[in-house]
Amino acid sequence: MFYGRITGWGKCVPEKVVTNFDLEKIVDTSNEWIVSRTGIRERHVAGDGETTASMSVAAARAAMAKAGVIPADLDLIIVATSSPDYLLPPVSSMIQDQLGARCGAFTLVAGCTGFVYGLATAQQFIATGAYKTVLIIGAEIITKFVDWTDRNTCVLFGDGAGAVVMQASEQPSGVLAFELGSDGEGAEHLKMNLGVANPPSHKVIDEGGHFIRMNGREVFKFATRVLARSAAEVIGRAGLSIDDVDLVIPHQANERIIEVAAKQLGISMDKMFVNIAKYGNTSAASIPIALCEAMEEGRCKEGDRIVMVGFGAGLTWASAVVQLGVADEHRLAMWRWVPTATMRRAQNRVKVAARTIGLKAGAVVMPLYTRVTKRG
Ligand code: COA
């Protein structure tokens, strides 16, 4: 059994920055509304010549340089995206070619959750000994599918790419536990109505079938249902409690969702990594970009245990407990002596459920999803 150790990380975002004040000029919104309801202040938007492949390649090169691997070392490339350059060829093959790698490559579509799905998938190839070095990328130019006249969605999204290199290790490291989830019953709440079931035509385009449409309230409720629950579940699967976790890196969709999850998990916001103010929701790129920034800012370091948790279209969700570097002896000893995973899962889930009931009880006057944290 091998562990998939994360040895490199990198990111790339487009040069162009669109602030909330810029959006005030094109749609009926305000900086105050966007900041107080989402935590977003600005986002990066791809310009001419910037593509999902080009940003992925830049992020991948940074991650590979950090890991000290060259393209010939790569055994597999996994690209999580909902905004590939083309329907065919797969953007993963374009990236493989542009990197100069000679290995398998595939594109994985699981909405904003895609990167964590990719991480868990990469870990399987490494655990079995099939592959030694896997590149996982989360990349989106999602703003190409945003209706800039729809204030419900256009203020939320941004573009970017993040990448990590995962390498085989014999010591406990990398993905210690994961959970993948899907509930297609909620598919209608976050949708782009273009594809085989609704093929491109003048009519479909005139109706805006190529734009992201979202029932924000339903997605908000879904996110506050799954985020903390899934994090608690996966922390338990690793035989840990939330106190053993150094940092939680959640999908950056709405700061209020992250605040609710922190309360449900019983942790302070210091333990949550939040960078949504600068990037908005970059979908599958949000978690690897956040990981990269957390490393750059010293918010997490080799030896730390972090939890990545994503949610999005599908509806889908996924979580992973990741050991950065190799656990030191003291922490390994702690890990060996913790109660079994089954006990931990039960304890963690009960705690989250109890806190959620408490939060809901306190929100009788104002439903959970309409709670607003005022910011300047
Ligand atoms: N600027 C100003 N007003 C806006 C607005 C904007 N950009 N967008 C919506 N509004 C208005 C609505 O029209 C509504 O007005 P009304 O009361 O007159 O009808 C009011 O603000 C409240 O809308 P509501 O949808 O209840 O706001 P909300 O507090 O739920 O926040 C979201 C909206 C989209 C920010 C929030 O629901 C959300 O973040 N949902 C999750 C989205 C998400 O995570 N998506 C990606 C998943 S990967």
What does the alpha-carbon distance between residue 66 and residue 74 come to, in Å, rounded to a whole number? 14
* Nearest residue by C-alpha to atom 8 in ligand 1: 152
Give the residues across from 23 on adjacent strands: none
The minimum-distance atom of ligand 1 relative to the CA of 283 is 48
| Ligand 1 geometric centre to CA of 19 (Å) | 18
Residue to mutate, 26, 37, 117, ligand 1, most ligand atoms under 8 Å from C-beta:
37
- Tell me which DSSP letter residue 281 carries: B
Ligand 1 neighbourhood includes 31 CB (under 6 angstroms): no
In this structure, the strands spanning 3-12 and 160-169 are antiparallel
Q: Can you state the percent helix, strand and coil of the chain, rounding each to 5? A: 45, 25, 35
Would you give the end-to-end CA distance of the chain in angstroms? 51
The tokens describing 320, both together, are 């992973």
Question: Ligand 1 centre from 152 Cα, in Å?
Answer: 6
| Element (DSSP H or E) covering residue 174 | strand 174-182
| Ligand 1 pocket mutation pick from 142, 251, 254, 309 by most atoms within 8 angstroms of CB | 254
Rounded CA separation 294/307 (Å): 12
Residue 223 near ligand 1, beta carbon < 6 Å: yes
Which of 12, 44, 112, 154 is an active site residue? 112
Nearest CA to ligand 1 atom 12: 152
pTM summary value = 0.92
Q: Which atom of ligand 1 is nearest to the CA of 253?
A: 44
Residue 155 Cα to ligand 1 midpoint, Å, equals 10
Cα angle for residues 131, 10, 141 (degrees, 5° grid)? 100
Mean pLDDT of each 10-residue bin along the chain, 376 residues long: 94 98 97 98 96 98 97 98 97 98 98 98 97 98 96 97 96 93 96 94 94 95 96 94 96 97 96 98 98 95 94 97 75 56 82 83 58 43
Say whether 202 is catalytic.
no
Q: Cα–Cα distance between 190 and 356 in angstroms, integer?
A: 24
CA distance 234 to 240: 9
367 lines ligand 1 (CB under 6 A): no
Query: Residue 309's closest CA among 220, 228, 241?
Result: 228
CA distance 244 to 18: 38
DSSP SS3 for 132 = coil
**Bridge partners of residue 162, in order along the sequence:** 11, 138
The H or E element containing residue 216 is helix 216-237
Is there a catalytic annotation at residue 44? no
- Quick one: which of 213, 209, 251, 205 has its CA closest to 231? 251
Q: Which of 220, 260, 366 to mutate to test the pocket of ligand 1 (most atoms within 8 A of CB)?
A: 220
> Using CA of residue 195, residue 198, residue 201, residue 206, what is the dihedral sign?
negative
Q: How many CB atoms lie within 10 A of CB 90?
A: 17
For ligand 1, is residue 158 a contact (CB within 6 Å)?
Answer: no
**Residue 31 among the catalytic residues:** no
